[in-house]
Each structure stands twice: as C-alpha cells, then as structure tokens.
Amino acid sequence: MSFEAFAPFRVTVQDTDIFGVKGGAGPPLLLLHGHPQTHMIWHRVAATLANHFTVIATDLRGYGASGRPPSDARHMPYSKRAMAADQVAVMRHFGFEQFHVCAHDRGARVAHRLALDHADAVERMMLLDIAPTLAMYEKTDRAFATAYFHWFFLIQPAPLPETLIGAHTDAYIERVMGNRSAGLAPFAPAALDAYRAALAQPGAVHAMCEDYRASATIDLEHDRADLERGNKVACPLRVLWGEHGIVGRCFDPLDEWRRVARDVSGRALDCGHYIPEEAPVALIDELLAFFEARDPAA
C-alpha cells in the first residue's frame, strides 16, 4: 500500500491514544477516515499528497489501531466534540496550530465539529460525501433509511448490535461497503483485509456503535446549540459527493452545507460513496486545487 514512506505514530490525547501515519513535507494536511474503515482509505492518494503537504492520517478514536476508551450513558466519550479534540491534540503534538482538513464520512462529521469548536485551527476544509448530521436525521425518508440502515441499527441499546455484528464482522463489512453503487470492486484486497481485521478487534464493534449513538444524541444537542447561536463553519469549505451515491440523491449537499457554513463550494464526482478509493485521481486534483488555493472546478 502507499504508506511506505510514512512513519507510524501513537499520541496520547485526553482519555485515550490516537494512532496514525505521517509523511511528506509542506503545509499540514489532516486526513480523517469514515465507517467502517481506518486511515487505509487514503492509500491511493497519500503518496501523491505527500509531495505537496505534510500529511497526517489518523484512525479515529474507537477505530483501527487507536484507543477505545469506555463510554458513558450520554455517549460523550464518542461525541464528535471529543473526537475533534483528539485530532487538534495530535496536530499540536507535531507543532501545527493551523492546518487543512480533508475528511470522509464519519471523519467528516468529526471535521465539521472541529471547525466549529476550534475555528482558528482550520485553514481550509474538504468534506467527502456527507450532509450535516442534523439535516440527515431531520430529513430521513424511506430511501435514506433503507440505504443507511446501519444509522438506525447501530444506535440500538447495547448489546444487541454488538452481539449480532460481533458474531459476523466480515459479513458486516461486506454488506455495508459492498452494498453501495460499485460493490466491493473499488477496494484493494489489502485494504479490505485491514478493515476486516480492525473491526474484529476486541471492543471495536462497541466503539463503532458508540460513535453512532453519540451522533443520534449528544452530537445533535451540540449541533442544535450552534444553530441557535448562529455559529457556522467560518473557513472555506469544499464539499464533494458521489454522483452515484445516496447523499446526493437524498439531499442537496450544497444547500445543506450553506445552512451551517459561510463559504461553501462543491460538486459531484463520477463515483459512489468511497471517493478516496473510487475516484483517487479526481480527488487529488480537487485537493491540490483547493488547498493550494487554485480555482477548483465549479
């Protein structure tokens, strides 16, 4: 995989530790993965990006090789506020007070919270194939609930989803990732093996469920509070989504992000949900144009 020139690291943050890889030179760029994956989602773009940026790709708390701290009744340890603070601490560990962020799926929800809670830290932000969490819950319809069934299954009280998924973690990976527009074809075998191995670790399924339980509870409280205060993402925001995916079909991504951010641009790419693995060349072009402040495609 394309992390040969990257150095692994582990940084102690708050109540846990964060694993990641670091490589390249130039302006700092933080990469955040989604569900049910790890930093490996960036394997097709990381080497090229390292020619332009100091790239730091982490595993979110609860995922991959990062720590899985105990949760609580409010799911606060898996709130996007806690996850965002992790990432700020990692970047400060390496001496970066300000940085760019590119994030996919769950990582993009962390990035959204990071840009609200730590506005001075984020120079520019790119989010991949999501609409804001609050909008997605409030505008759920049958089509979205069917395609994103895991949103509503994982939030069920423990230990039901943990028990069922834990008995068949490989089947869960293949169903969730393979049920999108391109099936499992876009994924490198080594990457799939990494995702399977990560979810099979003790406590990984519970941590994943806690991430989703937090999004359906405490994260919505935080998001509503920001809306009431008029607190919006201030940094330039580029939003990309898959033309063949669910997000663009069920939501208007640009309209939704303009409700919660001040400076939004974006477009659909010719792919499905897993943009870094399905459309790496197009993503690299977008990343370089946006983070190097060239004029991106309309």
| Domain residue extents for the chain | 7-291
| Coil/strand/helix, residue 231 | coil
Q: Is 41:274 a contact under the CB 8 Å cutoff?
A: yes
Distance of CA 279 to the CA centre of its chain: 16
Is a pLDDT exceeding 80 seen at residue 69? Answer: yes
Predicted confidence at residue 298, as pLDDT, reads 41
Is a pLDDT exceeding 80 seen at residue 192? Answer: yes
The answer for residues whose C-beta is within 8 angstroms of residue 182's C-beta and 6 or more apart is 244, 271, 272, 274, 278
Tens digits of residue pLDDT in 139-164? 999 999 999 999 999 999 999 999 99
Q: Is 195:40 a contact under the CB 8 Å cutoff?
A: yes
Assess whether 105 carries a catalytic annotation: yes
Candidates 80, 79, 34; CA nearest to 57 is 34
Please name the residue ranges forming H helices in 200-243. Answer: 204-215, 218-229
Is a pLDDT exceeding 80 seen at residue 184? Answer: yes
Q: What's the average model confidence in pLDDT over 125-140? A: 99
Percent of the chain's residues with pLDDT above 70: 98
Could you list the beta-strand ranges (E) of the chain: 7-13, 16-24, 28-32, 54-58, 99-104, 122-128, 237-242, 264-269
- CA 56-266-146 angle, to 5 degrees, is 90
From the candidates 39, 43, 104, 273, give the one annotated as an active-site residue: 273
From the candidates 86, 105, 129, 226, give the one annotated as an active-site residue: 105
Direct distance between the N- and C-terminal alpha carbons of the chain, in angstroms, rounded to an integer: 32
CATH of domain 7-291: 3.40.50.1820
Going by DSSP bridges, is the β-strand pair 99-104/28-32 parallel, antiparallel, or unpaired?
parallel
Candidates 124, 74, 71, 91; CA nearest to 18 is 91
Amino acid at 71: S
Backbone angles phi, psi at 132, to 5 degrees: -55, 145
Tens digits of residue pLDDT in 38-52? 999 999 999 999 999
Tens digits of residue pLDDT in 256-298? 999 999 999 999 999 999 999 999 999 999 999 999 976 544 4
User: Cis bond leading into 27, ω under 30°?
Assistant: no
How far is Cα 130 from Cα 240, in angstroms, rounded to an integer? Answer: 8
Tens digits of residue pLDDT in 216-250? 999 999 999 999 999 999 999 999 999 999 999 99
Assess whether 273 carries a catalytic annotation: yes
The torsion angle over the Cα atoms of residues 238, 242, 248 and 250, rounded to 10 degrees, is -140
Percent of the chain's residues with pLDDT above 90: 96
Q: Is the overall model pTM greater than 0.85, yes or no? A: yes
Amino acid at 170: D
Q: pLDDT class for 3, splitting at 50, 70, 90? A: very high
Mean pLDDT, the chain, integer:
97
